[in-house]
Amino acid sequence: MSGFGSGDLARSVRDIRIIFFSLGLGAFAIGTAEFAAMSLVPMIARSFGVSDPEAGHAIVLYAAGVCVGAPTIALFSAGISRRTMLISMMLLYMLGNGLSAVAPNYLLFLVCRFVSGLPHGAYFGIAGILASSLVPPNKRSQAVGRVILGLTIATIGGVPLANGIGQVVGWRWAFALIGFLALCTASLLALFAPRDAPRRDASILNEFTALRIKQVWLTLAIGAVGFGSVFCVYTYLASIMINVTKVPESTVPVMLAIFGIGMTIGTLVCAWLADHKMMPTLAGVLLMGAASMAGFPEAAHKFVPLAINVFMIGASGGLATVVQARLLTVAVGAEGLAAALNQSAFNIANAVGPWLGGLAVSAGLGWTSVGWVGLCLSLGGFAIYLLSIADDFRSKRKTPPRL
- The DSSP symbol for 50 reads -
In a domain, 259, yes or no: yes
Q: Collect all residues with Cβ–Cβ distance below 8 Å to 283 and sequence separation of at least 6.
A: 382, 385
In a domain, 401, yes or no: no
Residue-by-residue pLDDT tens, the chain, 403 positions: 344 343 434 446 777 788 888 898 999 999 888 777 777 888 888 888 888 778 878 888 887 888 888 788 877 776 778 888 899 999 999 999 999 999 999 999 999 999 999 998 888 878 887 887 777 777 777 777 788 788 778 877 887 788 888 888 888 999 999 999 999 999 988 888 777 666 665 556 666 666 777 888 899 999 999 989 998 998 888 889 999 999 988 888 888 889 888 988 998 898 889 888 889 999 999 999 999 999 999 999 999 999 999 999 999 988 988 898 888 788 766 667 777 788 778 878 877 898 899 899 888 898 999 999 999 999 999 999 999 999 888 877 665 444 3
Residue 95: strand, helix, or coil: helix
Q: Looking at residue 98, what is its pLDDT?
A: 93
In a domain, 3, yes or no: no
Q: What is the largest CA-CA distance in the chain?
A: 71
Distance CA 27, CA 6 (A): 29
Alpha carbon 169 to chain centroid, angstroms: 27
| Other residues' Cβ atoms within 10 Å of the Cβ of residue 317 | 27
Distance CA 326, CA 331 (A): 9
- The DSSP symbol for 403 reads -
Distance CA 171, CA 166 (A): 4
- Decide if 232 contacts 373 (C-beta within 8 A): yes
What's the domain range around 94? 9-194+203-395
Alpha carbon 372 to chain centroid, angstroms: 22
Q: Looking at residue 382, what is its pLDDT?
A: 95
Distance CA 1, CA 310 (A): 41
Total structural domains within the chain: 1
**Burial class (CB within 10 angstroms; exposed 0-12, middle 13-18, buried 19+) of 109:** buried
Q: Which one, of 378, 160, 377, 171, lies nearest residue 260 by Cα?
A: 160
In a domain, 400, yes or no: no
Q: For residue 356, give the amino acid letter.
A: L
In a domain, 208, yes or no: yes
- Decide if 126 contacts 336 (C-beta within 8 A): yes
- Decide if 134 contacts 24 (C-beta within 8 A): no
Q: Which one, of 42, 74, 72, lies nearest residue 55 by Cα?
A: 42
Distance CA 326, CA 213 (A): 13
In a domain, 403, yes or no: no
Q: For residue 398, give the amino acid letter.
A: K
Q: How many residues are listed for the chain in this entry?
A: 403
- Decide if 61 contacts 113 (C-beta within 8 A): yes
Query: Residue 173 sits in a domain of what CATH number?
Result: 1.20.1250.20
Q: Looking at residue 403, what is its pLDDT?
A: 37
Sign (positive or negative) of CA dihedral 261, 266, 267, 269: positive
Alpha carbon 330 to chain centroid, angstroms: 20
- Exposure string over 191-212, b if 16+ CB within 10 A, otherwise e: eebbeeeeeeeeeeeebeebee
- Decide if 262 contacts 317 (C-beta within 8 A): yes
In a domain, 402, yes or no: no
In a domain, 113, yes or no: yes
Q: Looking at residue 9, what is its pLDDT?
A: 40
